[in-house]
Amino acid sequence: MRTVIIGLGGIGTYLAEPICRISSSSKSPRASRRILMVDGDKYEERNRERQIFREQANKAQETCVRLKDFFPNLEIEFKPTYITAENAFLFIKENDSVFLGVDNHATRKIVSDRVATLDNALLISGGNEVRDGNAQVYRREGGKDITPPLTFAHPEIEFPTDKHPNDLHCGELVEAGVTQVLAANLAAASVMVSIYTIWLQEGKTPHHEIYFDILTGNSRSATLPAVFSTSVKGE
């Protein structure tokens, strides 16, 4: 069992420490002391207003080094690379709990498709625009979908038109970034941590998708398809 955090940017920078804190202290048999952080990007000075880092280095490496000092009882590792269809099997394995905080649908589809090949795995994905966003849960148990994959009801993920980070040159990487605010990043990370906490404590994932809006203060869960609702109620 491992916990894998993919994407240490706007959302991941606030997700990593709470996940490590929970992993370090949780008594749940579903919690893991092994943390893997994956990101091919590096921090830049322009990120400082809403991301946490000491050095302008690779995001996964910098976060890993920073948090190792705080959580010596955890085995924290990093991979300074982007997830691709070719390497996803190396980073996402059976029984992993995966947190996905990326900003492109191409990567979301790659990760969701990889989880679909596993018998047991938990995927919690978060994203946000300027003021609103969502968190999705894709859970597999015994080779079956307990909740829908990320592509369910999201054609923009099933048929992504954006480019994978590996396919962008430096200029496009800057242009592709959506203007965001700190509060929305924090909201997405908070929802993801809440979902994970419920799963650790009760072994349940009562929601498969939660939407939030920081301007209105509203949040709501998406209606679960009937084919999945029986499985969730029977947990």
Q: Which domains does the chain have, with CATH numbers?
A: 3-228 (3.40.50.720)
Residue 235: the pLDDT is 58
Note the pLDDT of residue 176: 52
Task: Tell me the pLDDT tens digit for each residue of 93-119.
Answer: 999 999 999 999 999 999 999 999 999
The predicted pLDDT at position 177 comes to 53
Residues of the chain with pLDDT under 70: 168-179, 229-235
pLDDT at 154: 96
Look up the pTM and report it.
0.93
Task: List Cβ neighbours of 12 (8 Å cut-off, separation of 6 or more).
Answer: 5, 6, 37, 39, 59, 63, 99, 101, 189
Q: How far is CA 218 from CA 45, 94, 134, 210, in A?
A: 32, 35, 12, 11
